[in-house]
Structure 1
Amino acid sequence: MTETRQDAQPATTDREIVVSRLIDARQELVFEAFTEVEHLSRWWGPEGFTTTTYAFEFHEGGVWDFVMHGPGGTDYPQWIMWTEIVPPKRITLLHGAYRDDPDTFESILDFTPHDATTRVVMRSIFPTRQLRDRVVLEYHAIERGEQTLGKLASYAAEVARKGAR
Protein backbone atom coordinates (compact mmCIF):
# COMPACT_ATOMS: atom_id res chain seq x y z
CA MET A 1 0.00 0.00 0.00
CA THR A 2 1.26 3.46 -0.90
CA GLU A 3 0.55 6.39 1.38
CA THR A 4 0.58 10.03 0.39
CA ARG A 5 1.49 12.55 3.05
CA GLN A 6 -0.77 15.58 2.99
CA ASP A 7 1.96 17.82 4.41
CA ALA A 8 4.62 16.80 1.90
CA GLN A 9 6.36 19.68 0.16
CA PRO A 10 5.67 20.12 -3.55
CA ALA A 11 8.34 18.77 -5.89
CA THR A 12 9.11 22.35 -7.00
CA THR A 13 9.96 23.78 -3.55
CA ASP A 14 13.71 24.00 -4.29
CA ARG A 15 12.97 25.95 -7.51
CA GLU A 16 10.48 28.47 -6.08
CA ILE A 17 10.39 32.01 -4.84
CA VAL A 18 7.24 32.93 -2.91
CA VAL A 19 6.42 36.47 -1.80
CA SER A 20 3.12 37.72 -0.42
CA ARG A 21 1.50 40.87 0.87
CA LEU A 22 -1.76 41.91 2.45
CA ILE A 23 -3.14 44.82 0.44
CA ASP A 24 -5.64 47.33 1.78
CA ALA A 25 -8.06 47.08 -1.15
CA ARG A 26 -10.82 44.77 -2.38
CA GLN A 27 -9.90 41.63 -4.34
CA GLU A 28 -11.52 42.91 -7.55
CA LEU A 29 -9.55 46.15 -7.48
CA VAL A 30 -6.22 44.41 -6.77
CA PHE A 31 -6.87 41.94 -9.60
CA GLU A 32 -7.82 44.81 -11.93
CA ALA A 33 -4.42 46.44 -11.33
CA PHE A 34 -2.97 43.62 -13.50
CA THR A 35 -5.49 43.89 -16.34
CA GLU A 36 -4.55 47.15 -18.07
CA VAL A 37 -1.20 48.60 -19.01
CA GLU A 38 -2.29 52.00 -17.62
CA HIS A 39 -2.45 50.38 -14.19
CA LEU A 40 0.72 48.30 -14.53
CA SER A 41 2.81 51.23 -15.72
CA ARG A 42 2.02 53.02 -12.44
CA TRP A 43 3.29 50.29 -10.11
CA TRP A 44 5.05 47.35 -11.84
CA GLY A 45 8.61 46.60 -10.82
CA PRO A 46 10.86 47.21 -7.84
CA GLU A 47 11.55 50.61 -6.33
CA GLY A 48 13.21 52.98 -8.80
CA PHE A 49 12.17 50.98 -11.89
CA THR A 50 9.86 52.19 -14.66
CA THR A 51 8.43 50.39 -17.68
CA THR A 52 7.94 51.05 -21.38
CA THR A 53 5.34 48.79 -23.01
CA TYR A 54 5.51 47.71 -26.66
CA ALA A 55 2.55 45.29 -26.71
CA PHE A 56 -0.11 44.36 -24.18
CA GLU A 57 -2.95 41.87 -24.57
CA PHE A 58 -4.51 40.72 -21.30
CA HIS A 59 -6.14 37.40 -22.16
CA GLU A 60 -5.03 33.78 -22.02
CA GLY A 61 -2.34 33.42 -24.68
CA GLY A 62 -1.88 37.22 -24.80
CA VAL A 63 1.52 38.84 -24.40
CA TRP A 64 2.96 41.79 -22.54
CA ASP A 65 6.20 42.87 -24.24
CA PHE A 66 7.99 45.62 -22.31
CA VAL A 67 11.28 46.99 -21.01
CA MET A 68 12.02 47.65 -17.36
CA HIS A 69 14.30 50.64 -16.89
CA GLY A 70 16.50 50.28 -13.81
CA PRO A 71 17.43 53.22 -11.61
CA GLY A 72 21.07 52.96 -12.80
CA GLY A 73 20.06 53.31 -16.46
CA THR A 74 20.15 49.62 -17.38
CA ASP A 75 17.29 48.36 -19.56
CA TYR A 76 15.89 44.87 -18.98
CA PRO A 77 13.79 43.47 -21.86
CA GLN A 78 10.79 41.52 -20.51
CA TRP A 79 8.21 39.20 -22.01
CA ILE A 80 5.13 37.83 -20.28
CA MET A 81 2.48 35.48 -21.68
CA TRP A 82 -0.72 35.04 -19.67
CA THR A 83 -1.53 31.31 -19.48
CA GLU A 84 -4.47 31.31 -17.05
CA ILE A 85 -6.79 34.12 -15.96
CA VAL A 86 -9.50 33.42 -13.37
CA PRO A 87 -11.01 36.78 -12.35
CA PRO A 88 -10.62 37.93 -9.62
CA LYS A 89 -8.79 34.95 -8.05
CA ARG A 90 -5.75 33.89 -10.06
CA ILE A 91 -3.35 34.83 -12.83
CA THR A 92 -0.76 32.41 -14.18
CA LEU A 93 1.95 33.59 -16.55
CA LEU A 94 5.24 32.73 -18.20
CA HIS A 95 7.97 35.36 -17.73
CA GLY A 96 11.25 35.67 -19.59
CA ALA A 97 13.44 38.22 -21.30
CA TYR A 98 11.93 37.26 -24.68
CA ARG A 99 9.75 34.60 -26.30
CA ASP A 100 11.52 31.20 -26.19
CA ASP A 101 13.96 32.41 -23.51
CA PRO A 102 15.38 29.17 -21.99
CA ASP A 103 15.28 30.86 -18.55
CA THR A 104 11.53 31.55 -18.74
CA PHE A 105 9.79 30.80 -15.47
CA GLU A 106 6.17 30.42 -14.41
CA SER A 107 4.47 32.75 -11.93
CA ILE A 108 1.17 32.07 -10.21
CA LEU A 109 -0.56 35.00 -8.53
CA ASP A 110 -3.35 34.20 -6.11
CA PHE A 111 -5.70 36.91 -4.82
CA THR A 112 -7.51 35.92 -1.62
CA PRO A 113 -10.05 38.27 -0.03
CA HIS A 114 -9.88 39.03 3.69
CA ASP A 115 -12.83 41.35 4.44
CA ALA A 116 -11.88 44.66 2.74
CA THR A 117 -8.27 43.57 2.12
CA THR A 118 -6.62 41.11 -0.26
CA ARG A 119 -3.75 38.70 0.27
CA VAL A 120 -1.61 38.46 -2.88
CA VAL A 121 0.71 35.47 -3.09
CA MET A 122 3.17 35.45 -5.99
CA ARG A 123 4.79 32.06 -6.52
CA SER A 124 7.52 31.88 -9.19
CA ILE A 125 8.72 28.45 -10.31
CA PHE A 126 12.03 28.29 -12.15
CA PRO A 127 13.20 25.54 -14.52
CA THR A 128 16.13 24.70 -12.21
CA ARG A 129 17.24 25.34 -8.64
CA GLN A 130 20.44 26.89 -10.04
CA LEU A 131 18.46 29.50 -11.99
CA ARG A 132 16.34 30.28 -8.93
CA ASP A 133 19.49 30.70 -6.85
CA ARG A 134 21.09 32.92 -9.52
CA VAL A 135 18.13 35.34 -9.71
CA VAL A 136 18.01 35.50 -5.92
CA LEU A 137 21.73 36.37 -5.68
CA GLU A 138 22.30 38.44 -8.84
CA TYR A 139 18.95 40.21 -9.19
CA HIS A 140 17.81 40.21 -5.55
CA ALA A 141 14.56 38.62 -6.69
CA ILE A 142 13.04 38.17 -3.24
CA GLU A 143 13.60 41.76 -2.10
CA ARG A 144 12.56 43.15 -5.48
CA GLY A 145 9.47 40.95 -5.52
CA GLU A 146 8.54 42.33 -2.11
CA GLN A 147 9.18 45.88 -3.36
CA THR A 148 6.95 45.25 -6.39
CA LEU A 149 4.10 44.04 -4.18
CA GLY A 150 4.70 47.08 -1.96
CA LYS A 151 4.26 49.37 -4.96
CA LEU A 152 1.09 47.45 -5.89
CA ALA A 153 -0.19 47.92 -2.33
CA SER A 154 0.43 51.69 -2.44
CA TYR A 155 -1.19 52.02 -5.87
CA ALA A 156 -4.26 49.91 -4.97
CA ALA A 157 -4.77 51.80 -1.68
CA GLU A 158 -4.57 55.12 -3.56
CA VAL A 159 -7.13 53.96 -6.14
CA ALA A 160 -9.39 52.63 -3.36
CA ARG A 161 -9.24 55.98 -1.49
CA LYS A 162 -10.08 57.94 -4.64
CA GLY A 163 -12.99 55.60 -5.35
CA ALA A 164 -14.36 56.05 -1.82
CA ARG A 165 -14.65 59.82 -2.17
Structure 2
Amino acid sequence: MTDQNTNTVSAWASWPLDRELVLARVVDADRETAFQAWTDPTQIVQWFGPDGFRIESHEANICEGGVWRFDMVAPDGTRFSNRMDFLRVQTPSLIEVDHGQDIEDDPDRFRLLVTFDEQDNGKTVVTLRQMHPTPERRAIVIGFGAVEFGTQTLGKLADHVAGKSNLAVAKG
Protein backbone atom coordinates (compact mmCIF):
# COMPACT_ATOMS: atom_id res chain seq x y z
CA MET A 1 0.00 0.00 0.00
CA THR A 2 1.42 3.36 -0.95
CA ASP A 3 1.77 6.23 1.46
CA GLN A 4 -1.04 8.00 -0.38
CA ASN A 5 -3.37 5.01 0.18
CA THR A 6 -2.32 4.82 3.82
CA ASN A 7 -3.25 8.49 4.23
CA THR A 8 -6.65 7.79 2.66
CA VAL A 9 -7.38 4.91 4.99
CA SER A 10 -6.26 6.90 8.03
CA ALA A 11 -8.53 9.79 6.98
CA TRP A 12 -11.41 7.34 6.81
CA ALA A 13 -10.46 6.03 10.24
CA SER A 14 -11.50 9.34 11.77
CA TRP A 15 -15.10 8.99 10.52
CA PRO A 16 -17.63 7.68 13.07
CA LEU A 17 -18.13 3.92 12.89
CA ASP A 18 -21.86 4.27 13.40
CA ARG A 19 -22.08 5.65 9.83
CA GLU A 20 -19.87 3.07 8.12
CA LEU A 21 -20.66 -0.16 6.31
CA VAL A 22 -17.78 -2.42 5.17
CA LEU A 23 -17.88 -5.39 2.79
CA ALA A 24 -14.97 -7.40 1.40
CA ARG A 25 -14.48 -10.29 -1.00
CA VAL A 26 -11.46 -12.17 -2.29
CA VAL A 27 -11.64 -12.48 -6.08
CA ASP A 28 -9.65 -14.95 -8.16
CA ALA A 29 -7.89 -12.34 -10.28
CA ASP A 30 -4.89 -10.08 -10.04
CA ARG A 31 -5.40 -6.53 -8.84
CA GLU A 32 -5.19 -4.94 -12.30
CA THR A 33 -7.92 -7.22 -13.68
CA ALA A 34 -10.26 -6.54 -10.73
CA PHE A 35 -9.59 -2.80 -10.98
CA GLN A 36 -10.24 -2.81 -14.75
CA ALA A 37 -13.63 -4.49 -14.16
CA TRP A 38 -14.58 -1.42 -12.08
CA THR A 39 -13.21 1.24 -14.42
CA ASP A 40 -14.09 -0.12 -17.88
CA PRO A 41 -17.62 1.08 -18.78
CA THR A 42 -18.24 -2.02 -20.92
CA GLN A 43 -17.35 -4.36 -18.06
CA ILE A 44 -18.97 -2.69 -15.04
CA VAL A 45 -22.46 -2.90 -16.59
CA GLN A 46 -22.02 -6.67 -16.97
CA TRP A 47 -21.69 -7.40 -13.26
CA PHE A 48 -22.59 -4.38 -11.11
CA GLY A 49 -25.66 -4.58 -8.88
CA PRO A 50 -27.48 -7.28 -6.91
CA ASP A 51 -28.55 -10.62 -8.36
CA GLY A 52 -31.29 -10.27 -10.97
CA PHE A 53 -30.71 -6.54 -11.50
CA ARG A 54 -29.41 -5.09 -14.74
CA ILE A 55 -27.68 -1.79 -15.43
CA GLU A 56 -28.65 0.76 -18.06
CA SER A 57 -25.83 3.26 -18.35
CA HIS A 58 -26.58 6.83 -19.48
CA GLU A 59 -23.10 8.32 -19.10
CA ALA A 60 -19.90 6.57 -18.09
CA ASN A 61 -16.75 8.59 -17.64
CA ILE A 62 -15.06 6.46 -15.02
CA CYS A 63 -12.00 8.48 -14.12
CA GLU A 64 -11.03 11.07 -11.53
CA GLY A 65 -13.50 13.95 -11.96
CA GLY A 66 -15.80 11.80 -14.11
CA VAL A 67 -19.41 10.73 -13.62
CA TRP A 68 -21.26 7.46 -14.09
CA ARG A 69 -25.03 7.96 -14.43
CA PHE A 70 -27.08 4.78 -14.63
CA ASP A 71 -30.35 3.09 -13.79
CA MET A 72 -30.34 -0.09 -11.78
CA VAL A 73 -33.34 -2.07 -13.02
CA ALA A 74 -34.90 -4.62 -10.66
CA PRO A 75 -36.30 -7.93 -11.89
CA ASP A 76 -39.84 -6.48 -11.60
CA GLY A 77 -38.86 -3.51 -13.81
CA THR A 78 -38.54 -0.95 -10.99
CA ARG A 79 -35.86 1.58 -11.91
CA PHE A 80 -33.46 3.13 -9.43
CA SER A 81 -31.53 6.16 -10.67
CA ASN A 82 -27.89 6.30 -9.62
CA ARG A 83 -24.97 8.62 -10.02
CA MET A 84 -21.37 8.15 -9.00
CA ASP A 85 -19.08 11.18 -9.00
CA PHE A 86 -15.49 9.94 -9.11
CA LEU A 87 -13.35 11.85 -6.62
CA ARG A 88 -10.17 9.78 -6.86
CA VAL A 89 -9.05 6.95 -9.12
CA GLN A 90 -5.61 5.59 -8.30
CA THR A 91 -4.77 2.77 -10.70
CA PRO A 92 -4.86 -0.09 -9.67
CA SER A 93 -5.44 0.34 -5.96
CA LEU A 94 -8.28 2.73 -5.11
CA ILE A 95 -11.52 4.31 -6.29
CA GLU A 96 -13.37 6.92 -4.23
CA VAL A 97 -16.80 8.19 -5.24
CA ASP A 98 -19.84 10.01 -3.99
CA HIS A 99 -22.78 7.68 -4.76
CA GLY A 100 -26.46 8.54 -4.69
CA GLN A 101 -29.49 9.11 -6.84
CA ASP A 102 -29.09 10.95 -10.14
CA ILE A 103 -30.34 14.21 -8.66
CA GLU A 104 -28.59 17.33 -7.43
CA ASP A 105 -27.92 17.59 -3.70
CA ASP A 106 -29.14 14.08 -2.83
CA PRO A 107 -29.35 14.14 0.99
CA ASP A 108 -28.81 10.36 1.14
CA ARG A 109 -25.64 10.39 -0.99
CA PHE A 110 -22.80 8.45 0.60
CA ARG A 111 -19.04 8.23 0.17
CA LEU A 112 -17.75 4.94 -1.25
CA LEU A 113 -14.14 3.83 -1.07
CA VAL A 114 -13.18 0.74 -3.08
CA THR A 115 -9.72 -0.71 -2.46
CA PHE A 116 -7.91 -3.49 -4.28
CA ASP A 117 -5.24 -5.36 -2.31
CA GLU A 118 -3.08 -8.09 -3.81
CA GLN A 119 -2.52 -11.36 -2.02
CA ASP A 120 0.64 -13.41 -2.51
CA ASN A 121 -1.38 -16.08 -4.36
CA GLY A 122 -2.39 -13.69 -7.16
CA LYS A 123 -5.90 -13.11 -5.83
CA THR A 124 -7.23 -9.70 -4.83
CA VAL A 125 -9.15 -8.51 -1.79
CA VAL A 126 -11.78 -6.01 -2.93
CA THR A 127 -13.10 -3.93 -0.03
CA LEU A 128 -16.08 -1.58 -0.20
CA ARG A 129 -16.36 1.02 2.54
CA GLN A 130 -19.51 3.12 2.60
CA MET A 131 -19.74 6.19 4.79
CA HIS A 132 -23.35 7.32 5.16
CA PRO A 133 -24.39 10.88 6.08
CA THR A 134 -25.94 9.84 9.42
CA PRO A 135 -26.22 6.76 11.66
CA GLU A 136 -29.95 6.76 10.88
CA ARG A 137 -29.32 6.56 7.12
CA ARG A 138 -26.86 3.70 7.69
CA ALA A 139 -29.56 1.84 9.65
CA ILE A 140 -32.05 2.41 6.81
CA VAL A 141 -29.73 0.98 4.13
CA ILE A 142 -28.88 -2.01 6.31
CA GLY A 143 -32.61 -2.49 6.91
CA PHE A 144 -33.46 -2.63 3.20
CA GLY A 145 -30.72 -5.17 2.50
CA ALA A 146 -27.62 -3.20 1.51
CA VAL A 147 -25.27 -5.76 3.07
CA GLU A 148 -26.87 -8.66 1.19
CA PHE A 149 -27.09 -6.65 -2.05
CA GLY A 150 -23.48 -5.54 -1.73
CA THR A 151 -22.38 -9.12 -1.07
CA GLN A 152 -24.27 -10.23 -4.19
CA THR A 153 -22.59 -7.46 -6.21
CA LEU A 154 -19.15 -8.55 -5.05
CA GLY A 155 -20.09 -12.13 -5.93
CA LYS A 156 -20.99 -11.04 -9.45
CA LEU A 157 -17.65 -9.21 -9.69
CA ALA A 158 -15.85 -12.39 -8.57
CA ASP A 159 -17.67 -14.42 -11.23
CA HIS A 160 -16.93 -11.77 -13.87
CA VAL A 161 -13.16 -11.66 -13.27
CA ALA A 162 -12.63 -15.37 -12.61
CA GLY A 163 -10.32 -16.75 -15.25
CA LYS A 164 -9.59 -13.29 -16.70
CA SER A 165 -6.58 -12.60 -14.54
CA ASN A 166 -3.56 -11.11 -16.28
CA LEU A 167 -1.49 -13.53 -14.17
CA ALA A 168 -3.41 -16.54 -15.52
CA VAL A 169 -2.97 -15.30 -19.09
CA ALA A 170 0.75 -14.71 -18.53
CA LYS A 171 1.20 -18.21 -17.06
CA GLY A 172 -0.93 -19.85 -19.79
TM-score, normalised to structure 1, is 0.89
Residue of 31, 54, 57 corresponding to 2:58: 54
Match of 2:8 in 1: none
Residue of 74, 81, 97 corresponding to 1:70: 74
- Deviation string, structure 1 residues 6-45 (Cα, Å, up to 9, x no partner): xxx7442100110000000000000000111110111000
Number of residues paired by the alignment?
155
What pairs up with 1:12-161 in 2 under 5 angstroms? 12-98=16-102, 99-115=104-120, 116-138=122-144, 140-160=145-165
Q: Structure 2 unaligned runs (5+)?
A: 1-12
Letter in 1 for 2:27: I
Do the aligned partners of 2:28 and 2:163 also contact (CA within 8 Å) in 1? no
Quote the offset at 1:71 in angstroms: 1.3
Within 2, Cα distance between the matches of 1:110 and 1:132?
20
CA gap of 1:93–1:11, structure 2 versus 1, over 3 A, is: closer
Q: SS where residue 159 of structure 1 aligns?
A: coil
* Cα root mean square deviation, aligned: 1.5
Q: SS where residue 146 of structure 1 aligns?
A: helix
Whichever structure has more helix as a proportion of its residues is 2
Q: SS where residue 39 of structure 2 aligns?
A: coil
Letter in 1 for 2:26: L
Letter in 1 for 2:67: V
The structure with the larger Rg is 1
CA gap of 1:49–1:111, structure 2 versus 1, over 3 A, is: same
Q: Structure 1 unaligned runs (5+)?
A: 1-8
Letter in 1 for 2:116: F
- Deviation string, structure 1 residues 113-159 (Cα, Å, up to 9, x no partner): 00210001100000001001101112x00010010000000001043
Within 2, Cα distance between the matches of 1:24 and 1:128?
34
Q: SS where residue 127 of structure 1 aligns?
A: coil
Letter in 2 for 1:57: N
Letter in 2 for 1:38: T
